[in-house]
Amino acid sequence: MSHLAGEAAVAARLDRLPVGRFHYRMIFLIGAGLFLDSFEIALAASVLGALLSDGWSTPSLNSLFISVTFAGFIVGAWFSGILGDRLGRRFCYQINLALFGFASLAAAFTPNMELLIALRFIMGIGMGGELVLGFATLSEFVPPHKRGRLVALLSFIAQSAVFVCALLAMWVIPNLGWRWMFGLVGVVAIAIWLARKNMAESPRWLASRGRHEEAHAIVDDIERQLGVPRKTPESQAPVSAPLARSSVTDLLRPGRRRVLGVGIAIMVIIQICLYGFVSWIPTLLVQQGMDIVKSLHWNMVMTLGGPAGGILALLLVDRVGRKGILVVAAVVAAALGMLYPRLGVESWVMLTGFLLLTAIYVIVVVGQAIYLSELFPTRLRMRGTGVCNTVARIVATFIPFVVPALHAAGGMQLVTGVLSGCLVAFALIVAFAGHETRKRSLEESSS
């Protein structure tokens, strides 16, 4: 069997599988890692507010903490993209989980802010890599007619961590201290790392590397678990002709540059939303005179938008499609961003903040978790998502310094005004440069 035929056969076998126990186990194991990853990222919002309130840190050190996190994201995203396509998905996501798990555990015992910042860089490497690999890995196992919902479910699990983190922080930080937040992540991460040591490698990746027998053996095992008899499908998913070697420069070939641009736009707007607004909510509220406990309560309520956005995306993504959802969610978020700081009644401010975060997390789920990995072929999937994440993380490195400057110049109105402008620009990019991938095989979506 030729390389092309072998790769197509593996893809077709995976695409005709019914969704069953195997897929849900994959969702649980990958989702557990992504949940902790999101928990660790969201942890900064609550912990930094507490560190500032306790006098253990300063606004400048808080900004440095966030910036080194982004620097770690850049390193993790870049190398996970390259190594994920070269050495395999399974190898890389285990390394990533171990990195941020052990670093988080060490952070619980750190004696000063400077060492905490250094450990945060290591955590960032692991977190950046986990986000590159997790969603794309699951997408390579699930059939196209259910891919949107299942990957959205995975993202819902991850985004729920934002609310869970805020809820735990509301009790843990005032009663036990911020160190327990890091310690909890570290212990659970190590347990998950052990639980997913036997996860299967992606058959699509194995086939793209010419390892067809290994790929078919894994699919044979999946079929046995699902009770599906092996048979040769009548039609096979189209696969582009393989290259002897693939590199990052292949992403700049004609026909791929536009796709890469859309992917970068998705990740950049997500970073702007999450790190230009969401992660700063408790700190901005404290700077406006609110005490730390009340700010954590507000943050907890508003971050319910994380799971709400995940549920909304899960219900709509395979019915409406990726492109339309992204455009509408961006426009709605832009409008809410303009409204948010102009309300005077606390209950309305909180409700608007919740709705704004809901729209933002619809973009996160559909854009980052689902659409991004569908844009690139298997041999370039991790490199493509890695490059998009890397560029976005570089942009995000400057956000911790831009937000305080904007707030000092024009308060919350200027911060959310700039956010809204970026969301409108993103909506236009997706509307005119994006393409729909709903219910298409990964090979068709990326061709």
Residue 237 within any structural domain of the chain: no
Alpha-carbon span 104 to 350, nearest angstrom: 31
Alpha-carbon span 24 to 279, nearest angstrom: 30
How do residues 246-295 score in pLDDT, each as one tens digit?
677 788 888 788 999 999 999 999 989 987 887 777 666 666 666 666 77
pLDDT for residue 23 is more than 90: yes
Question: In a 10 Å sphere around its CB, with 0-12 CB exposed, 13-18 middle and 19+ buried, how is residue 19 labelled?
Answer: middle
Residue 233 within any structural domain of the chain: no
Q: Would you list the DSSP string of 18-47?
A: PP-HHHHHHHHHHHHHHHHHHHHHHHHHHH
Query: Collapsing DSSP states into helix, strand and coil, what is residue 291?
Result: coil
Q: What is the mean pLDDT of the chain?
A: 85
Radius of gyration of the chain (CA): 21
Mean pLDDT (whole number) for 110-121: 92
* 8-state DSSP, 277: T
Supply the CATH number for residue 132's domain.
1.20.1250.20
Mean pLDDT (whole number) for 200-221: 92
Note down the domain range covering 10: 3-228+248-445
Q: CA torsion 56→59→60→66, rounded to 10°? A: 90
Alpha-carbon span 95 to 91, nearest angstrom: 7
pLDDT for residue 140 is more than 70: yes
Helical segments of 87-211, H only: 89-107, 113-139, 144-175, 179-195, 203-208
Residue 238 within any structural domain of the chain: no
- Name the more confident of 284 and 385: 385
Question: In a 10 Å sphere around its CB, with 0-12 CB exposed, 13-18 middle and 19+ buried, how is residue 319 labelled?
Answer: exposed
**pLDDT at residue 235, as a whole number:** 46
Question: Range with the lowest mean pLDDT among 165-179, 335-349, 382-396, 398-412?
Answer: 335-349
- Name the more confident of 443 and 172: 172
Mean pLDDT (whole number) for 178-187: 92
Cβ atoms < 10 Å from Cβ of 158: 31
Residues 6 or more apart whose Cβ sits within 8 Å of residue 40: 100, 104, 123, 127, 185
How do residues 212-260 score in pLDDT, each as one tens digit?
999 999 999 999 999 887 665 544 444 444 444 667 778 888 878 899 9
- Give the relative orientation of helices 21-54 and 144-175 as an angle to the nearest 10 degrees: 30
Residue 388 within any structural domain of the chain: yes
**pLDDT at residue 288, as a whole number:** 61
Which H or E element spans position 401?
A: helix 399-433
Query: Collapsing DSSP states into helix, strand and coil, what is residue 16?
Result: coil
**pLDDT at residue 243, as a whole number:** 44
Mean pLDDT (whole number) for 440-445: 79
Which pTM value belongs to this model? Answer: 0.82
Query: Collapsing DSSP states into helix, strand and coil, what is residue 236?
Result: coil
Total domains, the chain: 1
**Position 200, amino acid:** A
Residue 100 within any structural domain of the chain: yes
The answer to whether the beta carbons of residues 76 and 124 sit under 8 Å apart is yes
Question: In a 10 Å sphere around its CB, with 0-12 CB exposed, 13-18 middle and 19+ buried, how is residue 253 labelled?
Answer: exposed
